[in-house]
Amino acid sequence: MTLFIDGFESPIGSVHVVSDGRALCALEFGAPEARLLPLLHARFDPAVALRDADDPLGLVSRTRAFFAGELAALDGAAVDGGGTPFQRRVWEALRQIPAGTTVTYGAVAALLGVPRASRAVGAAIGRNPVSIAVPCHRVIGAGGSLTGYAGGLERKRWLLAHERAARSLV
C-alpha cells in the first residue's frame, strides 16, 4: 500500500497531511517521526510506502484555507482515521461540533448515549490521527479547562482563538 504525504508551515508549526488516495488518513503537527509515522505504522503494515505528493486530494489547500480563516474548508473532506467502531463514533461526533465552540468530554459521551464514558471518549479523542478535520481541539475539561491535546496545549489554545476570531468576522 502507498500513502501520499505533503506538508507545509502553518502559523503553529509544520503540518503533514497523509492520504490513501481516497480520503484523509492523518493530519498531524510537527516532525513526522514524532507522532505521525508511529500512528501510520500501527494502523498500516509497518512497511507501508510513504510517497511525497503535491497536495493529495487538495487536502493541503483545504488545510491552508482553514488557517486563512475558512473554517469549513475541511468539513466535506473524506476522512478515514481507521480506529475501532467506538473511536469512529467519537470522531464522527467531533465533526459535528461547530467551529469556534467547545464541548466537554462528558457532553460528547452523553451525545453518544454513554454518559458515564467520558474517560473512554477522552481516550478515543487522544488516538485521533486527523487533527483539525476531526476537531478534537474543541473538546475541553468539565470545568472549562484546556486538557490534553496531542499537538500540545499551546496549539489547542491557538486553534480555539483562531476559530473564535474567524467566526466573529462572519
Q: Catalytic site residues?
A: 136
Quote the DSSP letter at residue 130.
B
Give burial (CB, 10 Å; 0-12/13-18/19+) of 90: buried
Q: What is the DSSP string of 11-45?
A: TTEEEEEEE-SSSEEEEEES-TTTTHHHHHHHHS-
The stretches of 5-152 forming alpha helices (DSSP H) are 36-43, 59-67, 85-94, 105-111, 118-126
